[in-house]
Amino acid sequence: MEIIPSILIHKGKTTRLVNGNFKKEKIYKLSPLDLAQKFESIGINKLHLIDLDGAKKGHIVNYPTLETIAGHTSLKINFTGGLHTDGDVSKAFEFGADSITVSTVAIYYPELFKAWIISYGREKIMLGADSLDHQIRIGGWLKKTKIDLFKHIAYYYEKGLKYVKTTDISREASLNGPPMELYQELLTEFPNLSILAKGGVRDLSDITALKKIGMHSVIFGTSFYEGRITLKELSDFIAYSH
């Protein structure tokens, strides 16, 4: 199982939002690049980079940060936030993204999203399906939809989707533990899908539990920023897993 740190960028700084709430924002001292280099130094090779300004504004904003991290590390960066047009997507790849996660377009413009999967390939385009009470939310989680999480994933699964990143928003940055039942259901329903779990990870035991049930990857953030998981623990976990 891959373990992938997430870095949330707001106005060029590393930040966290509790339950996706902008009023509960916490800014961290370390720059996105410093953090990325720390992760790389212990053997991590992938990074989930979230452009929060892009998600709010509806177009890619923090591409200079993407370019800086891509230029100064060899991490494979999965980029997300504000990818709404062909231009946004080509810009993300041009500035160093290895793959992208798309949420809003997959809701409103399914034909465009399917075209991106065909153009760039299944390895490069991941569906972002974040939900609250099983209903999809988009636009930096600020916008509600009436779309059921399972139906949404099923639609693209039938069209050949390979990767989905899913967050139970009620768990995000809450340190209340991942929604194991939800992930178990998803794994049963979509056996050939590579599912990336995000949200609620408290410590290394949660990462181990996710590995045990067969998750493809886990994306973590708050548990590391709040000192619940250390670089040493991550380093040992990676060494042991190989």
Number of domains in the chain: 1
User: Picking from 11-15, 25-29, 86-90, 210-214, which range would have the lowest pLDDT averaged per residue?
Assistant: 25-29
**pTM for the whole structure:** 0.92
Instruction: With cut-offs at 50, 70 and 90, classify the pLDDT of residue 21.
Output: low
Mean pLDDT, the chain, whole residue set: 92
What range does the domain containing 200 cover?
A: 2-241
| Tens digit of each residue's pLDDT (9 = 90 or more) over 45-68 | 999 999 999 988 999 999 999 999
Mean pLDDT of 18-28: 70
Q: Are 131 and 162 in contact (CB under 8 A)?
A: no
Using an 8 Å Cβ cutoff, are 183 and 215 in contact? Answer: yes
Q: Give pLDDT, residue 171.
A: 78
In the chain, pLDDT over 90 holds for what percent of residues? 77
Residue 69's pLDDT is 98
Summarised one tens digit per residue, pLDDT across range 210-233 is: 999 999 999 999 899 889 999 999
pLDDT of residue 19: 55
| Residue-wise pLDDT tens digits, 184-211 | 999 999 999 999 999 889 999 999 999 9
Between 33 and 174, the higher pLDDT residue? 33
For residue 104, with 0-12 CB atoms within 10 Å meaning exposed, 13-18 middle and 19 or more buried, which class applies?
buried
pLDDT per residue as tens digits for the range 130-178: 999 899 998 667 778 999 999 999 999 999 999 999 998 887 766 789 9
Write the CATH number for 121. Answer: 3.20.20.70
